[in-house]
């Protein structure tokens, strides 16, 4: 018997570890969203999780070392193991996905674009989409640039709300603190987005789904981890289908 390790549609490479629990969460959602009728029909996956990748927000703020060497090394290992398409389950790391695609020659799924498209589908004609994100994702303008491409108006929370509600909420999840307070803080942040005219919002940090219950009662909320899982399934399980949310080389 000749074993064929890769189907024609290719293999998904997951560049993870940012953080480890968000990576495990993404992988589980990917399996759950794959419309496979048996174990054997699921996507082939190779995953690289080096949790020592330097903090992305600290690097974008100029307060820490660049994560690029570690990210490029991981992406190259995934390519060498056979990955034909990469998923990076960390919104802030999307500041570097063009570099990753150039360094490896492998296409990278665009979680930011996929999340905005999911928001537009969730509330058709919304026009203005709110974003709950890390300070690094804001500074890099990731959602603003993707919004321009997709014809969506993107709005962030006011700076004092970022400082006093969103930043501490993300820190609390990473630190494993009690989450009742952070859940209320995120609802305050969602209300500030609604006041700025957003009719739907994106939980644009893979830590946020854990505390988004109250915020989702303020405003329809789309989860960027889910959007990335759906983009991966669309790309590899239905390879014939057109998809805009891919960063291609060069």
- Residues identified as active-site: 90, 205
Give the x-and-dash track for 140-179 against a second copy (CB under 8 A): ----------------------------------x-----
At closest approach, how far in Å is the CB of 84 from a second copy?
14
Q: Structure tokens of 243?
A: 């998809």
Nearer to a second copy by Cβ, of 53 and 211: the residue is 53
- Is the distance from CB of 89 to CB of 115 less than 8 angstroms? no
Yes or no: say if 45 and 11 are a contact pair by the CB < 8 Å rule. Answer: yes
Which residues inside 80-109 make contact with a second copy, applying CB under 8 A?
80-82
CA 45 to chain centre: 17
- Token pair in block for residue 165: 């509600």
The correct pick among 10, 15, 19, 131 for binding a second copy (CB under 8 A) is 19
- Of 34 and 139, nearer to a second copy (C-beta) is 34
Q: Is 238 in the site for a second copy (CB under 8 A)?
A: no
Which of 210, 200, 144 has the alpha carbon at shortest distance from 172? 210
Minimum CB separation of residue 130 from a second copy in Å reads 26
The footprint of a second copy on residues 45-64 (CB under 8 A) is 45-52
Segment contacting a second copy (CB under 8 A): 36-44, 110-118, 123-131, 156-164? Answer: 36-44
Token pair recorded at residue 58:
């600290």
DSSP track, 183-225 = HHHHHHHHHHHHHTT-SEEEE-STTGGGG-HHHHHHS-EEEHH
Report CA dihedral (91, 95, 101, 103) to the nearest 10 degrees.
-130
Out of 33, 73, 164, 216, name the contact with a second copy by CB under 8 A. 73
């Amino acid at each position: 018997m000749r074993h064929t390790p890769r189907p024609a549609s290719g293999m998904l490479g997951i560049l993870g570890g940012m953080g480890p629990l968000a990576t495990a969460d993404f992988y589980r959602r990917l399996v759950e969203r794959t419309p496979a009728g048996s174990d054997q029909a699921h996507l082939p996956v190779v995953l690289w999780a080096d949790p020592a990748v330097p903090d992305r927000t600290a690097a974008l703020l100029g307060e820490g070392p660049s994560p690029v060497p570690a990210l490029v090394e991981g992406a190259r290992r995934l390519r060498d193991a056979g990955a034909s398409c990469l998923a990076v389950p960390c919104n802030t790391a999307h500041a570097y996905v063009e570099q990753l695609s150039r360094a490896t020659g492998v296409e990278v799924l665009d979680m930011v674009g996929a999340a905005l498209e999911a928001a537009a589908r969730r509330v058709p004609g919304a026009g203005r989409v709110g974003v709950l994100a890390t300070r690094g994702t804001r500074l890099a303008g990731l959602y603003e640039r993707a919004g321009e491409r997709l014809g969506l108006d993107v709005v962030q929370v006011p700076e004092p709300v970022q400082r006093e509600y969103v930043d501490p909420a993300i820190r609390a999840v990473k630190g494993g603190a009690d989450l009742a307070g952070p859940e209320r803080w995120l609802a305050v942040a969602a209300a500030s987005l609604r006041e700025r005219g957003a009719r739907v919002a994106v939980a644009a940090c893979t830590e946020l789904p854990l505390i988004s219950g109250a915020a989702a009662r303020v405003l329809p909320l789309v989860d960027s981890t889910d959007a990335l899982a759906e983009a991966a399934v669309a790309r590899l399980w239905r390879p014939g289908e057109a998809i805009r949310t891919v960063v291609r080389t060069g």
